Amino acid sequence: MNIYERFNYLKKAFSFGKQNRLEGAPTEIVFMDFLQTYYDKQITDIQSSFRKSLVSSISDDSINENMAFQYPIFKIADDKKSDSAILLLHGLNERSWEKYLCWAEALTIRTGKPVILFPIAFHVNRTPTEWINPRIVRDYLPVRRKELNSPGNLTFANITLSDRITEYPLRFYISGKETAYNLKQLFYEIKSGRHPLFKENTQIDIFAYSIGALLSQVLLLSNPDGMFDDSKLFMFCGGSLFNRMNGNSKFIMDETAFTGIKNYYQNEFLTSTPELSDSVDIAFKSMIDEEVLKTYREVFFNCYSKKIKAISLKKDTVIPTAGIKAALGAECANECLTELDFPFAYSHEVPFPVTGNIPQEDLNRSFDSIFTPAAEFLA
Instruction: Tell me the per-residue pLDDT of 141-161, one tens digit each, with 9 for 90 and over.
Output: 999 999 998 899 999 999 999
Task: Give all strands (DSSP E) within 221-281, no chain letters.
Answer: 233-236
Residue pair 137/124 in contact (Cβ under 8 Å)? The answer is no
Residues in the chain: 379
Cβ-based neighbours of 139, under 8 Å, separated by 6 or more: none
Q: What is the pLDDT of residue 332?
A: 97
Tell me how crowded residue 276 is: count the other CB atoms within 10 A of its CB: 18
Q: What is the pLDDT of residue 60?
A: 93
Which residue segments constitute the domains of the chain, with CATH numbers given?
Answer: 3-126+178-242+282-378 (3.40.50.1820)
pTM of the model: 0.96
Q: What is the pLDDT of residue 356?
A: 83
pLDDT digits (tens, 9 = 90+) for 17-49: 899 999 999 999 999 999 999 877 888 889 998
Q: What is the pLDDT of residue 225?
A: 85
Q: What is the pLDDT of residue 92?
A: 98
Residue pair 301/308 in contact (Cβ under 8 Å)? The answer is yes
Rounded to a whole number, what is the largest CA-CA distance in the chain? 57
Task: Give, in order, the Cα–Cα distances in Å from 258 to each of 91, 120, 172, 249.
Answer: 15, 19, 11, 9
Low-confidence ranges of the chain (pLDDT < 70): 273-276
Q: What is the pLDDT of residue 55?
A: 84
CA–CA separation, 94 and 124 (whole Å): 6
Q: What is the pLDDT of residue 21?
A: 96
Edge to edge, what strands does the sheet with 233-236 contain?
20-21, 27-35, 68-76, 115-117, 82-89, 198-209, 233-236, 308-313, 337-340
Q: What is the pLDDT of residue 224?
A: 85
Question: Which is nearest to 314 in space by CA: 364, 266, 369?
Answer: 369
Q: What is the pLDDT of residue 276?
A: 66
Q: What is the pLDDT of residue 272?
A: 78
Q: What is the pLDDT of residue 90?
A: 98
Q: What is the pLDDT of residue 367?
A: 98
